[in-house]
Amino acid sequence: MSDDRKVAIVTGASRGLGKALCIQLCQQGYDVAGLARSKQKLAELEAGVSALPGQFSSVSVDVADGPAMAAAVNEVKTHYGSIDLAIANAGISEAGWAAKQSPEKIHRLFQVNFMGMIHLFSPLIPEMIERKRGHLVGIVSIAGYRGMPALSAYAASKAAMRSYLETLRIELKSRGITVSSICPGYFETDMTSDRARPMPFLISVEKAAAHVMKAIDAKASEVVFPFPMALSTRLLNFLPNSIYDIIVKFL
């Protein structure tokens, strides 16, 4: 691999936003390692991007499995030499009222959403500190700003991600490492296809990926999109609880 080529690693690469990001990264000339559980879907993605400027490789792994993730990241590092961009995108959503959610389901959700990000970043941070460069990106959600009915555990996992990314940003800025927290609103994917509640300002997954790529290029610390959702989220963050509790029922 040429020294001037950039390498990206993306979790949740086999579908949805992760798949769209892998495609757009390859289009921009990144060499991309896609991580996901489904070998078949990863193989289909690899075939689909074969004609693009960037090279694509994949590793089948469960992001909730810490040792397996460490091995997968080391495999990617061995193949490419170093990693410039890491995108923690893998995530699951478990809808349901807090009083009815089992501890086991909540644990699994945190293992994928929050610990999946930790399992990706932890093997990379020491090397990035040593090289004094690198970019860590977490795909969070607008749900990470305030609690949302029927999404209690999901919102909590995203709030944990957002807080952790903010801490990383502060700690690693002087080491030459960029940390970005990306908070999408609603976009079309299998996680939203059967959602009965309203989804204001819904956008395509390709457009969502384009927003993420723009944030990466700008090395933005935190981005909320699309713009109407960003504005709404900022406003909701300042509302007193009595008013927020009424408005959130319509989100």
Does residue 1 lie in a domain region? no
How is residue 56 written in tokens?
A: 């694509």
Evaluate if residue 197 carries a pLDDT over 50: yes
Give domain status of residue 2, yes or no.
no
The answer to whether 154 is a known catalytic residue is yes
Does the residue 146 lie in any domain? yes
| 3-state SS, residue 34 | strand
Q: Is the pLDDT of residue 201 over 50?
A: yes
Q: Is 94 inside a domain boundary?
A: yes
* pLDDT tens-place string over residues 2-25: 457 899 999 999 999 999 999 999
The predicted model scores a pTM of: 0.89
DSSP-H helix ranges across 29-151: 39-48, 66-80, 103-121, 125-131
Identify the CA nearest to 209 among candidates 3, 8, 6, 1.
8
Active-site entry in 30, 154, 164, 186: 154
Residue 136 within a domain:
yes
Domain that holds residue 102: 7-250
Does the residue 63 lie in any domain? yes
From CA 137, how far away is CA 213, in angstroms rounded? 11
CATH code at position 56: 3.40.50.720
Using CA atoms of 28, 209, 55, 178 in order, give the dihedral in degrees to the nearest 10: 80
List pLDDT tens digits, range 153-180.
999 999 999 999 999 999 999 999 999 9
Which pair of tokens denotes residue 241?
């609880």
Instruction: Specify if 112 maps to a domain.
Output: yes
The tokens 């990306």 sit on which residue?
182
Total number of domains in the chain: 1
